[in-house]
Amino acid sequence: MGEWFPSRMTGRPVFANIGMESVTILTEEKTDIFFMTKDRAVRINELVQKQGIQIGDNKLDVWMVIDSTPGVFGRTISDLDEYAKNLAKYVGRKIGGRKIVVWFSGGKDSTATLVVLLKLLEYINFHIEVFYIHVPYLDGERNIRFAEEAAKKLSVDLHIESMPRDVMLDLLRERGLPFRGYRWCTYHSKIKVMRGIKKRLRADYEVSSERVFESVKRLKSLREYAKQEMFISGSQFKPTYLLTILDVADICRRNDVIHPDYLLGCSRVSCSLCPYRTILEADMTSSDVEDPGTIDITIREEYRRWYRATSYDDFIHYRLWRFSPSIAPIILLLKKALEGSQYQYMKMDVVRNMVSWMWMNDIEAPYIPIRAVIEIIRHIRNFQVAIANLNLRIKDISG
């Protein structure tokens, strides 16, 4: 998603960003980009030329690989009660007495949003219905188990729904597993199901857990919300869209509702077979599926139809189904070249520790009022900015 994770704060800012099979390390002095092979992440600064990563006659856009989003380092919430009280002033007249549906995945953002809504209920009377949307075949039990455990800790009734399994199976047979740039599962297995639930409940609002600093796409789409200091547009209610990653981590930690994947070094909580997982994450989660036999057949068939430019062993070993048929061979070439190189590298355990650092350690950071965050958002124009309030930018990473 491109968000910067504060890590190993030893008197100076250090940030880690997880992109497309990459981890970028940013300090005040330099920027290093590492690309993941299978069991290590290799520094590739030397391969970057004119905003591209050169692999033989092929080139990957470096910004597609890094996938970074401008962010801020700090907290906007000094006291959750105070935040809820102020939020109530903005939305109280609109949501009072209304029915609101909440989409809860168990990820950090939906978990923090649910906690904020429960606190908001102390100041406004409204009704919430909380749903977990399960994706047949592509997800397993670990996410459902955590969602149920978190809901129990928060004293929330959780409803679990999903699209028909036979429809999902037909889609898998027709399209293969989702890959980066073609995540067809989002619409069919989530959005359509959510629309049906909202219509059935006759809900007045649905809660979105999107945050402005998660991705460039969300920064651009939520900028107008920020400029107008609004939290509701139409039937969309976004109570936490201005929070920083440290705000979200604090809320989850204080309520003891941290998904175990974050502690293992995953940057995201998503389906076990989500193509936006890195190889590090996919190796940890891909075995957690409800029907391994069907997935194995699907992978074999899509290899036969679209990926025969690579060997089947490599296709499986590097989980190349996460990439489009046109990009997968280039990714494979880069991985093979790096495995035989003498470039500097990090072991995967180092990457895991950097990403999980903020979940297990207290990080001192400045308090930034919401209005100051809005001003920062207003003035972001250059997406090479990494941490706007520290004026940290992605520096020249070539050579």
Residue 93 CB contacts under 8 Å (≥ 6 apart), including other chains? none
pLDDT of residue 1: 62
Position 56 pLDDT exceeds 60: yes
pTM: 0.95
Percent of the chain with pLDDT over 70: 98
Position 399 pLDDT exceeds 60: no
More confident residue, 309 or 54: 309
pLDDT of residue 139: 94
C-alpha 302/C-alpha 308 separation (Å) is: 9
Half-sphere exposure of 218 (CA within 13 A, CB side): 21
Do residues 136 and 163 touch, judged by C-beta distance below 8 A?
Answer: yes
Please give the average per-residue pLDDT across 390-394, as a whole number: 90
C-alpha 225/C-alpha 153 separation (Å) is: 32
Q: Quick one: 80-263 is in which CATH superfamily?
A: HUPs (3.40.50.620)
pLDDT of residue 249: 97
C-alpha 81/C-alpha 307 separation (Å) is: 53
Position 384 pLDDT exceeds 90: no
> What type of residue is 276?
Y
Give the ranges where 161-291 is alpha helix by DSSP (H): 165-175, 185, 192-201, 216-227, 245-254, 260-263, 279-285
Position 216 pLDDT exceeds 90: no
Where residue 237 falls among pLDDT bands split at 50, 70, 90? very high
pLDDT tens for 59-101 read 898 888 988 899 999 999 999 999 999 999 999 999 999 999 9
Position 166 pLDDT exceeds 90: yes
pLDDT tens for 14-39 read 999 999 999 999 998 899 999 999 99
pLDDT tens for 94-112 read 999 999 999 999 999 999 9
Phi–psi pair at 170, nearest 5 degrees? -60, -40
CA angle 391, 241, 374 (to 5 degrees): 45
**Cα distances (Å, whole numbers) of residue 272 to 287, 291, 302, 377:** 8, 12, 18, 33
The H or E element spanning position 386 is strand 385-387
> Where exactly are the structural domains of the chain?
4-72+343-393, 80-263
